[in-house]
């Protein structure tokens, strides 16, 4: 393995004599970090509290070929680094680009489904927005000038300044429901969509700025943005990462309770000692071992890839420095996967899905046309939809038990898409704390994370609390965390 690159080989042999790194949290962020570290020759233990790896990512393979996604359904990939990871994992052949028809998206206005325009001419004639709203957008593209803001503001206020109220109500509001399950009146413009903030600074117009960002990415050899999944669903990614970890690295049912910096720890046999190396005693609950199973071990560095509530509970150096993160807003989201015989549905399902603006007062945030997006999600002759319910808009609905949820939501979906009769297959999953909301003032949470990291050498914190909520953002977070650990050695 080391024949072709003796320098890399020597470095990897040095690394392998360092004490192991503890990666805490077996979601996509922790898995990528653990895998990159072990690939670089570092000893690693990956601690996961539950009995499965993958965190929010979960694909089910049900009877007759139904394939519900209980977490993310699609990944919007824009970076070379993501594709490099897929290649390194040998996953390229199983990666699936969404059906090109998925570029077509729908919104509801006036109780009817309307296609989102995909061209300037389409934008001129669409009934989605009134003529004054269209004029306002055109004026922004032509005349908006660059702006450097001192103060953050809500995403809705930010977009209203550019495009007016109607755009916010009928375009931004449903888009934000589809991505964050959140409320644009509360989200921070600077943190929730940083590329829009940047577009205003560099180009004035958000539309011109985004076109320029895309062109710059392509000029620098970056890939075209692609909407992807895998033949076996999104969980293929986390399953492959978990399977690629060397034996003994991954510990399931192993919730970590505390991290304690250790001074004057006994040297690890055969390990290189380095002044810059911190030592941490990790205490975890080994649920698979009898008698309560509290265990502890010494590690060189610690990577935390946990949701906010878990970070808040963690005892670090005898205190709970991340306790303020308990206040991060995580609304609940129910994913209702419903299967029908194709003939039951009048709508052609010729696109990605349909999003519901809050003003339309529907019982759902959006409906994904799952079996139109990727093959293999429904048996032949059938169609699968994934209905997203709840978020900050309707948390009560998200928490309903399955039968009540279906009674409340499915008639509304059926009216919209022209569905006759009940589903032939259903799967319901509640994410009680689904997605962290980067609301106005979220900087105070980031400051808590930064203060904790700088107070403790050898402690690295990432994941969706800090680095972006999408799966590709979490992949990048895992890569960064691993690089930082390797950089300290
Ligand atoms: C319903 C839903 C739909 C989504 N849709 C999309 C989508 O379409 N596209 C997209 O890109 N993103 C989507 N997301 C967001 C994305 O899936 C998540 O932000 C991302 O997967 C988070 O990954 P993570 O590794 O940071 O955290 P997590 O996946 O939350 O993983 C953290 C892990 O830490 C473990 N843990 C907790 N406490 C401890 C402890 N004390 N010790 C050890 N382990 C612990 C947890 O059990 C968990 O496995 C969706 C999320 C949800 C919930």
Task: Give the model confidence (pLDDT) of 128-142 as tens digits.
Answer: 999 999 999 999 999
Residue 4 pLDDT level (bands cut at 50, 70, 90): very low
- Single out the residue of 409, 407, 402 nearest to residue 387, CA to CA: 409
CATH number for the domain running over 63-101+329-431: 3.90.660.20
The whole-angstrom separation of Cα 388 and Cα 386 is: 6
Residue 120 pLDDT level (bands cut at 50, 70, 90): confident
Task: Give the model confidence (pLDDT) of 170-204 as tens digits.
Answer: 999 999 999 999 999 999 999 999 999 999 999 99
Task: Give the model confidence (pLDDT) of 327-345 as tens digits.
Answer: 999 999 999 999 999 999 9
CATH number for the domain running over 117-219: 1.10.3110.10
Ligand 1 center from residue 105 Cα (angstroms): 26
Residue 25 CB–ligand 1 contact under 6 Å:
yes
Ligand 1 center from residue 191 Cα (angstroms): 19
Average pLDDT over residues 402-430: 98
Cβ-Cβ contacts under 8 Å for 34 (sequence gap 6 or more): 23, 44, 46, 241, 245, 249, 250, 303, 482
The whole-angstrom separation of Cα 194 and Cα 121 is: 28
Q: From atom 31 of ligand 1, which residue's Cα is the shortest distance away?
A: 27
Q: From atom 14 of ligand 1, which residue's Cα is the shortest distance away?
A: 72
Q: From atom 50 of ligand 1, which residue's Cα is the shortest distance away?
A: 72
pLDDT for 286 equals 85
Specify whether domain 6-56+237-327+438-488 bears CATH 3.40.50.300.
no
Residue 20 CB–ligand 1 contact under 6 Å:
no
Residue 290 has pLDDT above 70, yes or no: no
Residue 316 CB–ligand 1 contact under 6 Å:
no
**137: its two tokens:** 């957008």
pLDDT for 291 equals 60
Which atom of ligand 1 approaches the CA of 477 most closely? Answer: 26
Task: Give the model confidence (pLDDT) of 56-86 as tens digits.
Answer: 999 999 999 999 999 999 999 999 999 999 9
- Single out the residue of 16, 488, 7 nearest to residue 271, CA to CA: 16
Residue 207 pLDDT level (bands cut at 50, 70, 90): very high
406 backbone dihedrals φ, ψ, rounded to 5°: -65, -40
- The domain limits of the chain are 6-56+237-327+438-488, 63-101+329-431, 117-219
Ligand 1 center from residue 57 Cα (angstroms): 6
Which atom of ligand 1 approaches the CA of 284 most closely? Answer: 42
Q: From atom 1 of ligand 1, which residue's Cα is the shortest distance away?
A: 71
Residue 332 CB–ligand 1 contact under 6 Å:
no
Contact 477, 449 (CB under 8 A): no
Q: What is the pTM of this model?
A: 0.94
Counting ligand 1 atoms within 8 A of each CB, the residue from 22, 54, 56 with the most, and so the one to mutate, is 56
Ligand 1 center from residue 355 Cα (angstroms): 23
pLDDT for 86 equals 97
- Single out the residue of 392, 389, 411 nearest to residue 400, CA to CA: 389
């Amino acid at each position: 393995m080391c024949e072709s690159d003796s320098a890399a080989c020597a470095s990897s042999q040095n690394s392998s004599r360092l004490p192991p790194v503890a990666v805490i949290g077996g979601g996509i962020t922790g898995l990528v970090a653990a895998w990159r570290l072990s690939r670089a020759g570092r000893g690693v233990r990956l601690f996961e509290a539950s009995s499965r790896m993958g965190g929010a990512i979960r694909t089910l393979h049900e009877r007759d070929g139904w394939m519900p996604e209980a977490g993310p359904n699609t990944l919007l990939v824009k970076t070379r680094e993501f594709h490099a990871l897929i290649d390194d994992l040998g996953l390229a052949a199983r990666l699936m680009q969404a059906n090109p028809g998925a570029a077509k998206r729908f919104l509801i206005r006036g109780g009817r489904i309307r296609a989102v325009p995909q061209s300037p001419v389409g934008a001129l004639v669409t009934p989605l927005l009134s003529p004054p709203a269209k004029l306002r957008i055109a004026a922004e593209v032509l005349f908006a000038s660059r702006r450097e803001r001192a103060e953050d503001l809500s995403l809705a206020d930010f977009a209203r300044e550019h495009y007016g109220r109607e755009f916010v109500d009928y375009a931004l509001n449903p888009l934000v429901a589809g991505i964050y399950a959140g409320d644009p009146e509360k989200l921070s413009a600077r943190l929730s969509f940083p590329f829009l903030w940047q577009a205003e600074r560099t180009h004035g117009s958000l539309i011109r700025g985004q076109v320029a960002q895309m062109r710059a990415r392509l000029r620098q050899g970056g890939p075209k943005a692609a909407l992807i999944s895998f033949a076996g669903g999104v969980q293929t990614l986390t399953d492959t990462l978990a399977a690629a970890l060397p034996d003994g690295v991954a510990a399931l049912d192993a919730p970590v309770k505390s991290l304690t910096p250790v001074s004057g720890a006994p040297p690890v046999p055969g390990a290189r000692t380095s002044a810059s190396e911190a030592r941490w005693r990790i205490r975890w609950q080994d649920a698979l071992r009898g008698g309560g199973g509290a265990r502890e071990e010494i590690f060189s560095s610690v990577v935390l890839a946990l949701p906010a509530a878990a970070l808040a509970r963690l005892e670090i150096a005898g205190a709970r420095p991340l306790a303020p993160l308990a206040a991060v807003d995580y609304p609940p989201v129910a994913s209702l996967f419903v299967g029908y015989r194709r003939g039951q549905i009048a709508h052609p399902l010729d696109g990605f899905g349909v999003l519901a603006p809050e003003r339309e007062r529907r019982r759902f945030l959006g409906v994904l046309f799952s079996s139109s997006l990727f093959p293999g999600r429904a048996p032949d002759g059938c169609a699968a939809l994934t209905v997203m319910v709840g978020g900050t808009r309707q948390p009560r609905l998200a928490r309903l038990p399955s039968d009540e949820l279906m009674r409340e939501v499915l008639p509304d979906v059926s009216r919209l898409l022209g569905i006759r009769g009940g589903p032939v297959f259903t799967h319901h999953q509640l994410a009680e704390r689904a997605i962290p909301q980067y609301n106005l003032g979220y900087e105070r949470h980031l400051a808590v994370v930064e203060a904790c990291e700088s107070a403790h050498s050898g402690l690295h914190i990432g994941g969706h609390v800090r680095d972006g909520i999408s799966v590709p953002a979490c992949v990048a977070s895992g890569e960064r965390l691993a690089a930082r650990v390797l950089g300290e050695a």
